[in-house]
A and B are shown apart, each in its own frame.
Chain A
Amino acid sequence: RKEVEQDPGPFNVPEGATVAFNCTYSNSASQSFFWYRQDCRKEPKLLMSVYSSGNEDGRFTAQLNRASQYISLLIRDSKLSDSATYLCVVTSTGTASKLTFGTGTRLQVTL
């Protein structure tokens, strides 16, 4: 079993739709969780950290479920510019010095 698992997609959604991604992790000792965005042939960029209480940043909402060992990302009112690969990232140390990446979920927003 992979340490971090994501549905690779692609998720094809129309502009304005709401879309949700899930990510599961196998290490119950994992401490820090992030969503990164990666555009084609570009480096990953931090989208948001994921906290136990859940957090929201504009159209993006991240949730953490420690009991079931998964995190989620919800994107509301999808824009064309949201098209990218979304990487689930998990660390097993408090210093967040070693990150484990999921394979990413590809999102394609269409007109």
Chain B
Amino acid sequence: GAVVSQHPSWVICKSGTSVKIECRSLDFQATTMFWYRQFPKQSLMLMATSNEGSKATYEQGVEKDKFLINHASLTLSTLTVTSAHPEDSSFYICSAFDREGINPAGELFFGEGSRLTVL
């Protein structure tokens, strides 16, 4: 089945540094990928929709200059957390929709997630 790979799984960084997270669709092309953030015991919150070859669409309240998204190819989207602070510590998950899959309703596949800890 379709697979979405996310890297790194874990990252610890100092406050003020930038962290890049990669999301790849391994066996299908994803013109659209989604980035979510999940704090402990809370639901996944959509941060932005990443569109191949164009600018990302950010949800209300998400700073586009802080969370830089690049979707340069049909299989790769990156999220860069710039000048990270402790409050950015969270579980970041990407996903991609495989519209060509066998599930007629379509299926959203998730990456394994990246746990960011900012010291």
Is residue B46 within 8 Å, beta carbon to beta carbon, of the partner chain?
A: yes
Complex contacts, B42 vs chain A, CB 8 Å: 103
Is residue A66 within 8 Å, beta carbon to beta carbon, of the partner chain?
A: no
The contact of B103 among A44, A49, A97, by CB within 8 Å, is A49
Complex contacts, A62 vs chain B, CB 8 Å: none
Complex contacts, B45 vs chain A, CB 8 Å: 101
Q: Mark B44-56, 1 if CB is under 8 A from A, else 0.
A: 1110010000000
- When C-beta atoms are compared, the residue in chain A nearest to B112 turns out to be A43
Q: Mark B29-51, 1 if CB is under 8 A from A, else 0.
A: 00010100000011111100100
Complex contacts, B97 vs chain A, CB 8 Å: 96-97
Q: Chain A contact residues: over half helix, strand or loop, or mixed?
A: loop
Q: Is the CB of B107 within 8 A of A102?
A: no
Is residue A61 within 8 Å, beta carbon to beta carbon, of the partner chain?
A: no
Q: Is the CB of B32 within 8 A of A97?
A: yes
Give CA–CA (A100, B44) in the complex, Å.
Answer: 8
Is residue A41 within 8 Å, beta carbon to beta carbon, of the partner chain?
A: yes
Nearest CB in chain B: distance from A20 CB, A:
20
Which chain A residues numbered 22 to 64 have a C-beta less than 8 Å away from chain B? 32, 34, 41-46, 49
Q: Is the CB of A43 within 8 A of B108?
A: no
Q: Is the CB of B110 within 8 A of A43?
A: yes
Q: Is the CB of B43 within 8 A of A103?
A: yes
Give CA–CA (A34, B91) in the complex, Å.
Answer: 22
Q: Is the CB of B110 within 8 A of A44?
A: yes
Complex contacts, A49 vs chain B, CB 8 Å: 103, 105
Q: What are 28 inter-chain pairs, A to B, with CB distance below 8 A?
A: A4-B43, A32-B105, A42-B112, A43-B6, A43-B93, A43-B111, A44-B93, A44-B110, A46-B103, A46-B107, A46-B108, A87-B44, A95-B106, A96-B105, A96-B106, A97-B32, A97-B49, A97-B97, A98-B46, A98-B49, A99-B34, A99-B46, A99-B108, A100-B46, A101-B43, A101-B45, A103-B41, A103-B42
Binding site for B on A (CB under 8 A): 4, 8, 32, 34, 41-46, 49, 87, 95-104
